[in-house]
Every structure is written in C-alpha cells, then in structure tokens.
Structure 1
Amino acid sequence: MDIRRRNNVSVTGNPRGRVVVLAHGFGCDQNMWRLTVPVLAENYRVVLFDYVGSGGSDLSAWSEERYSSLKGYARDVVEVCEELDLERAVFVGHSVSAMVGVLAAREAPDRIGALVMVAPSPRYVDEDGYRGGFSAEDIDELLASLELNYLGWSATMAPLIMGNPDRPALGEELTDSFCATDPDMARVFARTTFLSDSRADLAGVTVPTLVLECAQDMIAPPEVGAYVHHAIGGSTLVTLDATGHCPQLSAPDATNAAITEFLAGLG
C-alpha cells in the first residue's frame, strides 16, 4: 500500500531539523495547521497528513472496522512514521489526535519521542469524580443529531466548537471542513471520538509532553487539561489566552509560541 498517497502525506521545512508531525482532529484535515507550518518550517522538518476518511486521503482505504477505534487512527500514525523512517519525532495532536498520539507513542516508542497535546480530552463524558464536559445524555443527543442530519449538525456545531462568535469566518471555515467530510465516515469518527475513554492510557506516557489548553473551551474545559497534566508525570501545562477548541486558528501566535518554546527545550 502507498502510505503517502493513502494519508496524503506532505513533508516540508528544514530537512536537517528534528521532525514534527502535525495531526488534525475530527472533521478537519492538515490545512488546520497552515498558520503553524511556516513558523516551524525554518528550524524543523514538518510532516503533515490526513487520517483515512479526511481531507485528501484515499477514501478507498477506509474501513469502518479499523476506524471504529482510536487504535485504527494510531495505526495510521505509526505507518506514516514507518514509511518516512522517523525517529524520536515530536507528535503534535489536536483534540482527539492528542489521544491518538498517546496510543501511537506506546505502539512505536522509537518513532515518537515527545508529545504536544492541543486541547486534549481523554474522556468527553462526565462520571463520578471526573468532569469531561458532557453528560451521557448530551453525547447521546449529539450523536443522534449527527446521525439524523450531518450537514445540519455541522452548520450548528462547528461555530460553537470554534468559539469566537465575533470572528464568524473562523466558524464558517470549520463548518466547511466538517461538511467536506464524507458523512458516513464522519459519523464513525464522531462516535469513536466522543465515546472514547483514554484515561487509563495517560499514566503510560513516558516521553516529554506539553499539554496546551484554552482558557475557554466548550469541548475540553479546564478541568480536563488539569486532569491530563496530573495523569502524565512530568508534563507541562500551558493555558492559552484563547477561546474555543482550535487555538491554532483562533490564537495562532500564542499557540505557536508555546509549541516552539517546548521544542527548543527538548534539545
């Protein structure tokens, strides 16, 4: 299988620099990182890709069985790293991709040497002693609405997820991204994302880790960032002065500064 074609892999930046892999979240593609790539490209070799079912990936490679689990997305990451023969890459994962990175680092520890988790959430559903941000009923309603009318759901939810109502162009961009995703594949990715529980995986993270949270985020409230930080020994938590769930677009300067500072400290 042509992994590069399957995952629409692109490589840019400094060929002598440490490798940074940028991974998008649900309903998005690698274009979400367009404001980050130029900042990193001068000093780092930057790898971008799309999960199968998203963006410019090969949709014929999609399998509901594989992508009904976060492990399937982690396999995409590992296979891209193997195809490019990456060693000690820094994996930057947005939203659900932060947990995908945790799984990929466990599966291929020689390939991934550090993690940057942008607006991560290991569990979206509230439970006794844990606040994920949503009740079980909230998630059931969210998924039912998505199943019934994906395009309508996207038009309603994307601006809320993006936040920043005073900057409607951001919400419109995320809406367009959601709507460009195949509805059947998006439904599977959504269920995989919102019903996942990766809390038990966090304690196994041993690589340097940066947790980036936004000051206001309806998808991953501050309690979630604190939980991830405390669960990963030695991790660094940075709270961005940002609103919404996509700081790489809504607050790119602060996001990029936090990432580059972390990268510089890796040596």
Structure 2
Amino acid sequence: MDVLRRNRVTVTGRDDGPVVMLAHGFGCDQNLWRLVAPELEKRFRVVLFDHVGAGRSDASAWSPERYSSLDGYAEDVIEICRALGLGPVTFVGHSVSSMIGVLAANQEPGLFDRLILLTPSPSYIDDGDYRGGFSAQDIDELLESLDSNYLGWSAVMAPVIMGNPDRPELGDELTNSFCRTDPEIARVFARATFLSDNRADLAKVTVPTFIAQSARDSIAPREVGDFVHAQIPGSELVTLDATGHCPQLSAPEETTEAIIAFVQGP
C-alpha cells in the first residue's frame, strides 16, 4: 500500500529546514493546522497528514482490528516517517496524537528528533491521586451518547472541547469536522482515545520533549500537563494563555511561537 496516499501526506515549506510533522486529534484532519502551518513553512519542512478514517485519507485502509488501539496509529506514523526518508522529525501531536507520538517515539526513537505534545492527556479517567478530568462514569456516558446519536453528540461536545463560547464559529468548525467523520470509525477511535491509559509510557520517552497546555481546558486540565511534565525525564512545560483544547485554532500565534522556539532550540 502507498503509505503517503493512505494518509494523504503533504510536504511543504523549506527543503533545507528541520522536519516538523503535525498530527491532528480525534474528529479532525490536517486542516486543523491551517493557522499554524504557514508560519512554520517559512522556517521548516512541514509534514501534514490525516489519520486513517479522517479527512481525505484512504478510508478503505481502515479496520477496527488495527485502529482499536493507539498502537495502530503509532505504527502509521512510523511508516510515514520511513516512507518520507527525511531524517529525524519533530513530531507535534495534538490531543490524542500526543500519546500516539509518545508510542511511536518509544518504539523507534531514531526517527524522532523532538516531541511536542499539545494539550496531551495520557489518561482521561481520574484514578486515585491522578486527576484526568473525568470519572469512569463520565466516560461511559460520553461513549454511550456517541454510540446512540453521533451527530447529536458532536453538536454538544465539539463546543465544549473547543471552549471559547464567545467565538461560536470555532465550535461550529469543530462540530462540522466531527460530523464529516464516519460514525463507525469515530466510535472505535473514541474508545481508543478515551479509554487508553498511557501513563506508564511517559517515563520511557528518551527524545527531548516539550509540553504545551492551555491555561483553560475542560478536556485536559492543567494537572494533566503537570503530570506529563513530571513523568517525562527532562521535559519542558509551558502554559499557553489559551482557552479550550485546540489552541492551534483559538490561540494560533502563541501556539506557533511555542513550536518555533522549541524546534529552533536555545
């Protein structure tokens, strides 16, 4: 299979720049990066792609067996990196893709120069002293609602995920993105996203890692970013003055500046 066609990979920007790969979260596609990518393209080689089942990826490549866990998505990322042959990449993962990047980098660290985890969460469910932001019952109800009425669930949840109620166009955009996703694929990906527990994987990360969290995020509260920072050796953490779980849309300039600063290094 043509991996680059499967994931609708596009490569833009400077041929001689560091390689930055942008990975979108649940219910989205590479268009989510449109406010960030143009500025990055001035400095870096930018790789965009759609997870299988999202955007304009090859939906025929999707299977519930491969994509019922984040490992299948991580394997895709590794295959894309190998197919491009561009050298070590800085992987920027938004939301669930942050943990996909962690899994990929732990499996093949030589393919990755750096990791940037944007609004990450290794586990959404509260557990003892760990605060993921949701109870197990919350997640069960969320998934049951998604199963019974995906379009209705999208209309309710997308604005919550986006935040910024004073900018309803952002919530509308995310709602529309969710609604373009095949409901069966969304159900499987949602379970892989919200039921995964990748806390034990964080300490295994060996590549330089930068964590960017939103100051106000109802999906990944700041305690989660603090936890990720504490678990990944030598990682850096910044709190963006942003509201919502998608700062690349709600605060694109600050998000872009944070990415550039970490890629270029001291």
Give me the TM-score of the superposition, normalised by structure 2. Answer: 0.99
Alignment-derived partner of residue 90 in structure 1 = 90
Within 2, Cα distance between the matches of 1:263 and 1:4? 24
Asked whether 1:115 is paired with 2:115, we answer: yes
Q: 2:250: which partner in 1?
A: 250
Distance 1:7 1:149 in 2: 27
1:234-249 matches, within 5 Å, as: 234-249=234-249
Q: Distance in 2 between matches of 1:141 and 1:17?
A: 45
Runs of 4 or more above 6 Å deviation: none
Q: C-alpha separation between the residues in 2 aligned to 1:16 and 1:86?
A: 10
SS state of the match for residue 110, structure 1?
helix
What is the CA distance between 1:156 and its match in structure 2? 0.4
Distance 1:107 1:205 in 2: 10
CA distance in 1, matches of 2:107, 2:212: 23
Distance 2:113 2:263 in 1: 11
Taking only aligned residues, the RMSD between alpha carbons, in angstroms, comes to 0.7
1:50-101 residue CA offsets vs partner (Å, 9 max, x unmatched): 0101000000000100000100000110010011013220000000000000
Aligned pairs for 1:172-211 (under 5 A) are 172-211=172-211
Counterpart of 1:19 in structure 2 is: 19
Contact between 1:86 and 1:111, CA under 8 Å: does it hold in 2?
no
Match of 2:43 in 1: 43
Q: Which residue of 1 aligns with 2:139?
A: 139
Question: Residues of 2 paired with 1:137 and 1:14: CA distance?
Answer: 47
SS at match of 2:172: helix
Q: Is structure 2 residue 206 aligned with structure 1 residue 212?
A: no
- Alpha-carbon distance in 1 for matches of 2:120, 2:68: 19
Distance in 2 (CA, whole Å) between partners of 1:82 and 1:259 is 23
Matched-pair contact (CA < 8 Å) for 2:20–2:91: yes
Q: Deviations over 1:162-187 (max 9, x none)?
A: 00000000000000000000000000
Aligned to 1:2: 2
Instruction: Give me the whole-angstrom Cα distance separating, in 2, the residues matched to 1:8 and 1:177.
Output: 17
For 1:204, the aligned partner's letter is: K
SS in 2 for 1:92: strand
Structure 2 residue ranges without an equivalent (≥5) = none
Give deviations 1:225-244, integer Å, cap 9, x for gaps. Answer: 00000001111100001100
1:145 positional shift: 0.1
Query: For the residues of structure 2 that align with 1:87 and 1:131, how far apart are their CA atoms?
Result: 37
Contact 1:29–1:55 (8 Å) recurs in 2: yes
The letter for the 2-side match of 1:103 is L
Quick one: percent identity of the two aligned structures? 66
Aligned counterparts of 1:88 and 1:231: Cα–Cα separation in 2: 23
2:56 paired residue number: 56
CA displacement 1:162-221 (0-9 Å, x = unmatched): 000000000000000000000000000000000000000000111111100001101100
Structure 1 segments unaligned to the other structure (5+ residues) = none
Whether the 8 Å contact between 1:217 and 1:243 is mirrored in structure 2 is yes
CA contact (8 A) 2:109 2:206 kept: no
* TM-score, normalised with respect to structure 1: 0.99
Q: Distance in 2 between matches of 1:105 and 1:128?
A: 28
Q: Secondary structure at 1:65's aligned position in 2?
A: helix
